[in-house]
A = this chain, B = another copy of it.
Amino acid sequence: MTSTRVGIIGTGIMGTDHAQILQRFVSGAELVLVADVDLDRAERVASQLVCRATSDPLGLIDDADVDAILVASHDSTHAEFVLAAIRAGKPVLCEKPLAPSLAEAVELISAIGDKAALVSVGFMRRFDPGYAALKAQIHDGSIGRPLRIHSVGRGVSTRPGWTDELSVTSSAIHDLDIVPWLLESPVVEVTWLAGRSAADDFHDPQLILLRTSDGSLSTVDIFLNARYGYDMRCEVVGDAGTASIVEPVRVVTDTELTRLTGYAADWRPRFAEAYRLEQQAWVDRINGVPDGAALATAHDGLVASAVADAVIASMHTGGVATPVAVPEV
């Protein structure tokens, strides 16, 4: 049986979560090495998951026992590690974004050239059973022709130093990928808006309007200090009906004059299934197992970054903005 030996760069919250999922729940893969600038942190993860640890990410990439690399380190380091992995000829799954700015992402893709197929980008929502079911329902025609999507992304709180731009590049970017993916139509125009804010020093919630080339006008409501829970909503409005995702609750409790279900405090329980299926699809592809799932490509990552750039342009100018065309890869 083919088993892909994976190295993971970054053992923060995101990388640790990836490591646990990969080691415990992915068929045909084996976690062999983790790297972090904080070696202690890497060693704790390695000890728990029974693999090796290093503080040298480039060493991890070149390690003879590592067949494929998952990049979950700080956003600013993604481009460097992706490029190194490609140069080592190894498949790489990179958490979004590929690079801190669109320009750097474009530069990275140029440098990669015809090896771009080795790169996958972590738009895991495409693997979430809810979003996948929405897409299937658009396809099967049960809600007619899609006209509009309302996409809502809410989190409990942001870390200190957060900015309007980070809300776009770190959070809304998932919506900027998923809306055109659902509609199968690229974003051609964006508008950024905000009003009364829950935060003192940046705008929260934001409202982003998206026009796609099919003419649909969609909304993205991002609110990262919503306090009440980590809550992703998405409604596709068609001309024969609507379809909406439901938070995947398993138990309802009656107590103290209320009927209640729980919200996750962050993305990990909400998207555990999506991350598992995304990793499985990535590993399956490496192992040559045919599958129908849609890993986001380097080009998908570029496109989403171009839309995010346009949103930030609209934020700064106050007007409508158009995403730039990105090179085919």
Contacts and interface: CB of A to CB of B under 8 A. Distances in A.
Interface string A131-150: 00110010000111101101
Q: Report the 5 A-B pairs with minimum CB-CB distance, sorted nearest first.
A: A195-B217, A241-B255, A196-B215, A198-B239, A1-B30
A197 interface: yes
Contact of A228 (B24, B227, B242): B242
- Mostly, the A contact residues are mixed
Given A243-B253, A261-B258, A226 B237 contact: yes
Interface of A: 1, 3, 23-27, 29-30, 129-130, 133-134, 137, 142-145, 147-148, 150, 156, 193-198, 205, 207, 209, 211, 214-219, 221, 223, 225-229, 231, 237, 239-265, 280, 284, 289
Contacts of A134: 251
A195 B223 contact: no
Count of chain copies: 4
Most-contacted residue by chain B among A248, A251, A257, A264 (CB, 10 A) = A251
Given A258-B262, A262-B257, A217 B194 contact: yes
Contacts of A252: 243-244, 246
Contacts of A257: 156, 228-229, 262-265
B207 A193 contact: no
Contacts of A256: 227-228, 241
A260 B241 CA distance: 11
Contacts of A198: 144-145, 147, 239
B253 A263 contact: no
Contact of A227 (B3, B205, B217, B241): B241
20 contacts: A23-B27, A25-B280, A27-B29, A134-B251, A148-B195, A195-B217, A196-B214, A196-B217, A207-B219, A225-B239, A228-B242, A240-B255, A241-B255, A242-B253, A242-B255, A243-B251, A243-B253, A243-B254, A257-B264, A258-B263
